[in-house]
Amino acid sequence: MFKKLWQWIERFWQRLFGTARSESPSPEPEVTPLSDAAYERLLSRLLDKVAAGWTQDRVLEEIGDRRDDRFFQSWLHRFGKRLLKSPVPNRELGKRMLQLSEVGCGEIGEIAGQYGRQLLEREFPPLFEAEYEPLFAQLLQKTTQGTSAVSAFLSDLSPRVSIEQWTNWLRGYGERLLVEPEPDQTMGKALLRLSDVLQPVTPQQPTRAEDEAMQAFSQVAGEIGREIRSREIVWEVWEYAGNDRA
């Protein structure tokens, strides 16, 4: 009898705790995090779609499971803080991030709007002398992406530095480059590429003065680039015929 009683108690406890376990909700599956580069591509795609007029439904469909992705949210905070530390105003990017928040796409949109507003509210002093060279290096990198990338970069920096100021600085920078007996040929090629890319670049609602300023910038870049390239050392290889006589 004792054995039967014990078996009954065991079955009772199994039913009790087995039911409790089955009724407990299963944890929500967590999305696999992406790389920083993949998150940046996703954000860029969302900003492009919103700029093209996408509505909330289509944006949410594009985000998919990433809407509540805490890794995406964490990356977006890091991305926003990096933008706020940049010497480039990034005002156009700030406007687009604010647009994303206005569509209404959850926490991602709210974070984007938070940093977008801060980017638009930032005030900048004129460009410091020490900032010209590193920013010019960034400008040369943009030339590999085409005219639109160069135009956007110059426009973004326009609250801090005018095209005339860029041109004046480049003249002095070119003099320093040409002091070297063997100037950097990579720099020469980049300057020629910049000169070519600047030709079709015109500011929004351009004036004649702005056109002339851009042409002068292009001309100075081309002159320095050509002078550097003209100093390229060509190494000639002489083939030994093997018929020298003592």
Give residue 19's pLDDT: 47
Mean pLDDT of 215-227: 96
Residue after which a domain boundary falls, among 65, 99, 121: 121
Give residue 30's pLDDT: 72
Per-residue pLDDT tens over the stretch 120-152: 999 889 999 999 999 999 999 999 999 989 998
Query: Is 116 found in the same domain as 68?
Result: yes
Report how far residue 85's alpha carbon sits from residue 19's, in angstroms, rounded to the nearest whole number. 55
Query: Is 162 found in the same domain as 112?
Result: no
Report how far residue 207's alpha carbon sits from residue 162's, in angstroms, rounded to the nearest whole number. 14
Measured CA angle at 203 (ends 201, 207), to 5 deg: 115
Report how far residue 203's alpha carbon sits from residue 193's, in angstroms, rounded to the nearest whole number. 19
Query: Is 104 found in the same domain as 186?
Result: no
Query: Is 106 found in the same domain as 137?
Result: no
Query: Is 153 found in the same domain as 71?
Result: no
Nearest to 162 by CA among 218, 210, 215, 93: 210
On whether residue 102 sits in a domain, the answer given is yes
Mean pLDDT of 7-20: 57
Mean pLDDT of 48-71: 92
Residue after which a domain boundary falls, among 87, 121, 155: 121
Give residue 20's pLDDT: 46
Report how far residue 211's alpha carbon sits from residue 205's, in angstroms, rounded to the nearest whole number. 10
Per-residue pLDDT tens over the stretch 165-213: 999 999 999 999 999 888 999 999 999 999 999 987 655 555 678 889 9
Q: How many CB atoms lie within 10 A of CB 68?
A: 14
Mean pLDDT of 33-61: 93
**In the block, which residue shows the tokens 């007029």?**
53
Per-residue pLDDT tens over the stretch 155-168: 999 989 999 999 99
Give residue 37's pLDDT: 95
pLDDT for 75 beyond 70: yes
Cβ atoms of residues 143 and 190 within 8 Å: yes
Query: Is 140 found in the same domain as 221?
Result: yes
Query: Is 146 found in the same domain as 93?
Result: no
125: helix, strand or coil:
coil
Give residue 187's pLDDT: 96
Mean pLDDT of 21-48: 78
Query: Is 208 found in the same domain as 139?
Result: yes
Nearest to 216 by CA among 165, 159, 161: 165
On whether residue 12 sits in a domain, the answer given is no
On whether residue 188 sits in a domain, the answer given is yes
* pTM higher than the cut 0.75: no
Amino acid in the structure at residue 9: I
CA 93 to chain centre: 10
Cβ-based neighbours of 216, under 8 Å, separated by 6 or more: 163, 164, 167
Query: Is 139 found in the same domain as 226?
Result: yes
Give residue 199's pLDDT: 84
Query: Is 58 found in the same domain as 41?
Result: yes
Nearest to 70 by CA among 108, 124, 41: 108
Give residue 245's pLDDT: 56
Query: Is 225 found in the same domain as 160?
Result: yes
Query: Is 146 found in the same domain as 217?
Result: yes
Residue 114 belongs to what domain range? 36-121
Number of folded domains that form the chain: 2
Q: In sequence order, what DSSP letters do the residues of 65-122 get, joined into one string?
A: GGGG-HHHHHHHHHHHHHHHHSSS--HHHHHHHHHHHHH--HHHHHHHHHHHHHHHH-
